[in-house]
């Protein structure tokens, strides 16, 4: 029993991390119908910038509490990532808005490769350790362990999801976003500055990426210029699973993927009598993804839109 609860907690924390990154994917997709493959790399840059800032702050004022230092890192990383996301959209995606879907996809892949290699040049090839600044207090629930940081990550992802949902549903900007998502032309006719809206989407998405990047590297204790790739891929899968373009869906997809991975890795060996082991963890995750999409082709919470002629 305690093992099962522990696996659920493992999955929930992992899922929260996926969800944090998936929110960025889903926002951009909801409005532009563009897979922003570079989002994972923006997350990585967020972690790297924050680490650099944390290093500086620790050098200048080592007596500060760890939480404040990390917060300082986050506050540096957010504007850096916003600037990056904004520039990527302006330089690489905007000129291609009228091109078929594959062109911006390739651009996004190109941007990913560029960002990875720039990060490699700037921060080196090594795995960088994240200093243990955040509180690691341990609690026990039903025999399972959970730390302060884990609780914080889960709460943070839920809070951000709610904040986003509120922004999109209840604010002027959100209304403009929804209008842009439905039809760029009509939104423009109604007085929405579509370019501003899209830029705002990228700014928000990148700020989220910065936060996610710092959380990921603080939680796992490391950062590396290649860390964004797998993370982005998993997060993107989570967004698709939940119904891409849907904010609550990204959250649901993230949690689901995390829990499926945890339970899959934890129990697949015992369930198959040792024939399949935890090395099939990702197979399990992808298999669930495929199953869901086969029966609900637009994801769990995705809207069903009739095929346009």
Q: Does 15 bind another protein (CB under 8 A)?
A: no
Among positions 120, 156, 158, 300, the unique one binding another protein when judged by CB under 8 A: 120
Q: What residues have CB less than 8 Å from 133, skipping those under 6 apart?
A: 54, 66, 67, 69, 70, 218
HSE at residue 37, side-chain half, CA atoms within 13 A, is: 18
Task: Show the tokens assigned to 129.
Answer: 């350790």
Among 39, 48, 187, 224, binds another protein (CB under 8 A): 224
Nearest residue (CB) to another protein, 126 versus 193: 126
Strands, E assignment, the chain: 128-129, 138-141, 144-147, 222-223
How many CB atoms neighbour CB 4 within 10 A? 14
Task: Tell me how far, at minimum, the Cβ of 107 lies from another protein, in Å.
Answer: 4
Q: Which of residues 228-267 bind another protein (CB under 8 A)?
A: 229-230, 233, 236-237, 240, 244, 261-267
277 is a contact residue toward another protein (CB under 8 A): yes
Q: Is 121 in the site for another protein (CB under 8 A)?
A: yes
How remote is the C-alpha of 57 from its chain's centroid?
Answer: 26
CA distance 216 to 239: 18
How many Å apart are CA 23 and CA 249, to the nearest integer? 9
Local structure of residue 96 (DSSP, 8 states): G
Nearest distance from C-beta of residue 21 to another protein, angstroms: 13
When binding is defined by CB under 8 A, the residue of 67, 75, 83, 106 that contacts another protein is 106
166 binds another protein (CB under 8 A): no
Scanning 9-17, 65-73, 77-85, 199-207 for contacts with another protein by CB under 8 A, the matching segment is: 9-17
Please answer whether residues 160 and 23 qualify as being in contact, where contact means their C-beta atoms are separated by less than 8 angstroms: yes
One residue of 61, 68, 83, 113 binding another protein per CB under 8 A: 113
126-145 residues in contact with another protein (CB under 8 A) are 126-127, 129, 132, 136, 138, 145
Please count the CA atoms within 13 angstroms of the CA of 191 that sit on its side-chain side.
1
Shortest distance, CB of residue 147 to another protein, whole angstroms?
6
CB 85 within 8 A of CB 202: yes
CB of 287 to another protein, least distance (A): 7
128-129 and 138-141 strand pairing: unpaired
Per CB under 8 A, 148 contacts another protein: no
* Distance in Å, CB of 163 to another protein, minimum: 25
The reply to whether 180 sits near another protein by the rule CB under 8 A is: no
């Amino acid at each position: 029993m305690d093992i099962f609860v522990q696996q659920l907690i493992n999955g929930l924390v992992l899922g929260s991390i996926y969800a944090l990154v998936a929110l960025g994917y889903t926002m951009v997709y909801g409005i532009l119908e563009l897979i922003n493959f570079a989002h994972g790399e923006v997350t990585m840059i967020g972690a790297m910038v924050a680490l650099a800032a944390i290093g500086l702050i620790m050098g200048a004022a080592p007596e500060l509490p760890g939480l404040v230092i990390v917060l300082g890192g986050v506050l540096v990383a957010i504007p850096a990532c916003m600037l990056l996301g904004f520039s990527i959209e302006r330089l690489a995606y905007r000129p291609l808005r009228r091109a078929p879907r594959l062109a911006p996809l390739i651009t996004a892949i190109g941007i990913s490769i560029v960002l990875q290699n720039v990060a490699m040049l700037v921060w080196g090839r090594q795995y960088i350790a994240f200093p243990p600044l955040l509180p690691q207090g341990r609690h026990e629930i039903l025999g399972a362990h959970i730390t302060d940081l884990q609780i914080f990550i889960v709460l943070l992802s839920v809070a951000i999801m709610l904040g986003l949902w509120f922004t999109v549903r209840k604010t002027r900007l959100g209304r403009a976003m929804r209008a842009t998502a439905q039809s760029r032309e009509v939104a423009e006719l109604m007085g929405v500055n579509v370019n501003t809206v899209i830029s705002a989407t990228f700014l928000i998405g990148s700020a989220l990426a910065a936060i996610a990047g710092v959380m990921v590297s603080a939680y796992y204790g490391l950062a590396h210029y290649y860390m964004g790739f797998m993370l982005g891929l998993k997060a993107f899968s989570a967004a698709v699973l939940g119904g891409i373009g849907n904010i609550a869906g990204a959250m649901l997809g993230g949690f689901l993927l995390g829990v499926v991975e945890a339970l899959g890795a934890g129990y697949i060996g015992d369930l198959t009598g040792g024939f399949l082991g935890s090395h099939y963890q990702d197979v399990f995750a992808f298999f669930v993804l495929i199953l869901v999409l086969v029966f609900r082709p637009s994801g769990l919470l995705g809207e069903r839109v009739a095929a346009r002629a």
